[in-house]
Amino acid sequence: MVDRRDERPPTEETGTSRRSFLSRLWLGLGGLALAEYVWLMVEFLRPRPDPAEAAGVLVAGPVEQFELDSVTAFPAGRFYLTRLADGGFLAVSRECTHLGCTVPWMADEGRFVCPCHSSAYDIRGDVLSPPAPRALDIHPVRIENGIVKVDTGRTLKRRYFEASQVARA
């Protein structure tokens, strides 16, 4: 009599078995489903941009909010809103025209000073001391019903300050 306990089932030496293939397939599909779920959660939890900002228009506020001869920083729009002594408005870019460093407003000195190479600009963005080759860029400003609005979607490069660049109430 033949003892069948000693017999082993024949092995497939010509590749993977059907069971291992299906296991890998289900594992791959499960991983794909998990990745899709994580992606959906990230998209769901991500804050949506404000429609006005998406269009590039930032509402700065009412004209009366800004004092004469003052500079107000708008970090979200990456610009400074300057109100000149004559009441006009300019939205001056925070980026130095020399190497692109962020230029802070130095209120005690009454000017913008670049920390990288010491270029200096006046309140209108005009160059006071080089190496900056030209005035700070500006964004178009418009005043509608006493509200100051800045179009951050457009940047205007300029060589120097001109009176026509100022928005007036």
pLDDT of 153: 87
- More confident position, 36 or 51: 36
- Predicted TM-score (pTM) of this structure: 0.67
Enter the CATH code of domain 51-165.
2.102.10.10
**Residue 23 contacts by C-beta under 8 Å, 6 or more apart in sequence?**
none
**Encoded tokens for 108:** 């005690």
* pLDDT (tens digit per residue) in 89-129: 999 999 999 989 999 999 999 999 999 999 999 999 999 99
Find out whether 94 and 138 touch, Cβ atoms under 8 Å: no
* pLDDT (tens digit per residue) in 17-48: 888 888 999 999 999 999 999 999 999 898 87
Residue tagged 């590039």 (tokens): 56
